[in-house]
Amino acid sequence: MNIPIKRENTAPTVHASADTLAAFRTARARTRALVEPLSAEDMMVQTLPEASPVKWHLAHTSWFFESFVLAPFVSSYRPFHPDFKWLFNSYYQSFAAFPEKHLRASFSRPSVDEIFAYRHHVDEAVGEFAERILSDAEAQFRCMLGIHHEQQHQELILTDVLHAFASNPLHPAYRSLNSSLRTTAPPPEFIAWPEGLVEIGAAPADGFSFDNEQPIHRKWIDPFRLANRLVTNNEYAAFIDDGGYARAELWLSDGWQTIQREGWKAPLYWRKHGDQWRVMTLGGELPLDGIGSHPVCHVSYYEADAFARWAGKRLPTEEEWEYAAKSVPVEGNLLEREQFLSQPAQEEELSQLFGDAWEWTASAYLPYPGFKPLGGALGEYNGKFMSGKMVLRGGSFATPAAHIRASYRNFFAPETRWQFAGIRLAESGE
C-alpha cells in the first residue's frame, strides 16, 4: 500500500544523504547492541499495558522503514511477510488494522530468530536501494523520521526491560553499571532568567525535528528562576518522610485520587526493606543510601507537582525550560555514555538539562500556533495525542544524543511512572 505524500506538510530532509545512511546504520546497530544482554525469554515479557515486549520493538522499528520508506518508494521491494503489515502496526488507524497493545506478549510467533531475519531483510533493502531512497527528498525525510523513531524505541526498550525485571521476584540486572556511585551533589541554587519575548520551537532549516516542535513562534516569558540541577533521591525521601503522600493539600485532585486508588507511597521501583529504601535500576536493586545524590526518577507528573508544592516552588513551563536550555550545549549523561543510571550533578551552575532524567513541565501537550501534522498516515505520529498529556523535556540517560535538542517535546499522561522521568524546580520572579 502506498502512503499518500503531501510535501507541503513535510519537514525538509537532512542535507547530506550519506549522513542519513550512516545514521540509519548506527541506529540499527545500537538497537541490536542494546538487546544483546537479553535472552529470547526476556524479549517476550510485557508487564504492563503501556509497555511492549522487546521482540515487538525490534519488529515494529523494522516495520516502520518497510511501511513508510521501502514499500512506497521502491516498486521492486518485496515485504518480508504479508502479515507483518498489520501485526506490527502500532496505532496508525489509516494504514492497517492492528492487534490490541496489551496482547503483544502473546505473540510467541514469529520467533525472535525470525524477527532478527526481518531486521536483516529491511537493513539489506535500505542499503541496496539507498541511492533511490536518498535521491528523493520525501523518502530521505521519511528515512530520517524512521531513524528518530527507532531512537525513541531504544529508550522504550530500556524502560520496558526495567519494568519487566522489577516485576521479576529475582530482580535481575539488565547489565552491570559502568560507573561508581557518588554520594554528593552541589547544593540547589536558583538561576534568574529575565523577562522577554523569545522564540520557541524548531526551525526546519536547523535539521530534523518532529512536526510537534513546529512552527517557531514567539512567546512572552515573565522573569523566573530555574533550579541549577534535578531534584535528588534524598530530597524526595525528605518529602516522603514529611508525610508528602498523606497530605491532600499538596496534590491536584486527580493526583490525590490516583495515589489513593493505586496505593502509591513512593516513586516506582522504591521498596522498603525494614527501615531502609532500596531502588530497582537497570543495574539491579541498589540501596537508596548509595544513590541519594542521584536524581529521583520514575515519578509521575502528579508526584512532581506535589513535591514542588511541598518545596514551595513550582514546575517550569515548557517555554521557560526551552528558553534556558537554548543557552547551553546539548550534552550530558545520555545513552552513548552507557551509564544506565542517572548521575549526580557535578557543577553548581546550570546543569543536567540534557540527559539523566526527563523533566516534567507544567505545560499540557498542545499544538503550537500554526501547527500542521505530516501528510497521510504519518500525520498520526504526534498530533492525535494532543489531549490529556503533559510535556517533558531534556531526555534521560537512555536517550541517544543525536535524538535530543532544546525544542524536543516528549509527552505522557500525568499518571505515567515507568518512564525515566524526574523533577526540576522553578519559581516566579527575578
Looking at every residue in the chain, the average pLDDT score rounds to 92
Please tell me the pTM assigned to this model.
0.93
Question: Are residues 124 and 61 part of one domain?
Answer: yes
> For 181-209, what is the mean pLDDT?
89
Question: Are residues 354 and 306 part of one domain?
Answer: yes
The domain boundary, picked from 99, 134, 167, lies at: 167
Q: Residue 163 corresponds to which amino acid?
A: H
Question: Are residues 357 and 285 part of one domain?
Answer: yes
In a domain, 184, yes or no: no
Per residue in 320-337, pLDDT tens? 999 999 999 999 999 999
The domain boundary, picked from 102, 134, 167, lies at: 167
Query: What is residue 416's predicted lDDT score, i.e. its pLDDT?
Result: 98
CA distance 313 to 309: 6
In a domain, 2, yes or no: no
- Angle, alpha carbons 391-395-396 (nearest 5°): 125
Question: Are residues 110 and 195 part of one domain?
Answer: no
**By mean pLDDT, which of 35-44, 196-205, 350-359 is the weakest?**
196-205
Helix (H, G, I), strand (E, B) or coil at 46: coil
Q: How many helices (H) and strands (E) does the chain have?
A: 11, 12
What 106-113 contacts at long range (C-beta under 8 Å, 24+ apart), as own/partner pairs, is: 107/53, 107/55, 107/56, 108/44, 110/59, 110/81, 111/40, 112/40, 112/43, 112/55, 112/58
List the domain range (segments joined by +) for residue 22: 7-167
Query: What is residue 4's predicted lDDT score, i.e. its pLDDT?
Result: 31
Question: Are residues 212 and 160 part of one domain?
Answer: no
In a domain, 173, yes or no: no
Question: Are residues 35 and 159 part of one domain?
Answer: yes
In a domain, 83, yes or no: yes
In a domain, 1, yes or no: no
Query: What is residue 181's predicted lDDT score, i.e. its pLDDT?
Result: 65
CATH code of residue 278: 3.90.1580.10
> For 212-225, what is the mean pLDDT?
96
CATH code of residue 20: 1.20.120
Query: What is residue 347's predicted lDDT score, i.e. its pLDDT?
Result: 82
> For 160-185, what is the mean pLDDT?
88
Question: Are residues 222 and 80 part of one domain?
Answer: no
The domain total for the chain is 2
Helices 17-34/112-128 angle, 10° precision: 170
Question: Are residues 207 and 141 part of one domain?
Answer: no
Question: Are residues 155 and 222 part of one domain?
Answer: no
pLDDT band, very low/low/confident/very high, at 11 (cuts 50, 70, 90): very low
| pLDDT exceeds cutoff 70 at 12 | no
Per residue in 92-125, pLDDT tens? 776 767 888 888 888 889 999 999 999 999 999 9
Question: Are residues 199 and 84 part of one domain?
Answer: no
In a domain, 35, yes or no: yes
The domain boundary, picked from 132, 167, 202, lies at: 167
CA distance 83 to 245: 48
In a domain, 57, yes or no: yes
pLDDT band, very low/low/confident/very high, at 21 (cuts 50, 70, 90): very high
Question: Are residues 273 and 413 part of one domain?
Answer: yes
Instruction: Quote the cell numbers at residue 299.
Output: 515519578
Per residue in 42-96, pLDDT tens? 999 999 999 999 999 999 999 999 999 999 999 999 999 999 988 888 877 767 6
Query: What is residue 248's predicted lDDT score, i.e. its pLDDT?
Result: 98
Question: Are residues 333 and 297 part of one domain?
Answer: yes
C-alpha dist (Å) from residue 349 to 227, 254, 328: 9, 35, 11
In a domain, 176, yes or no: no
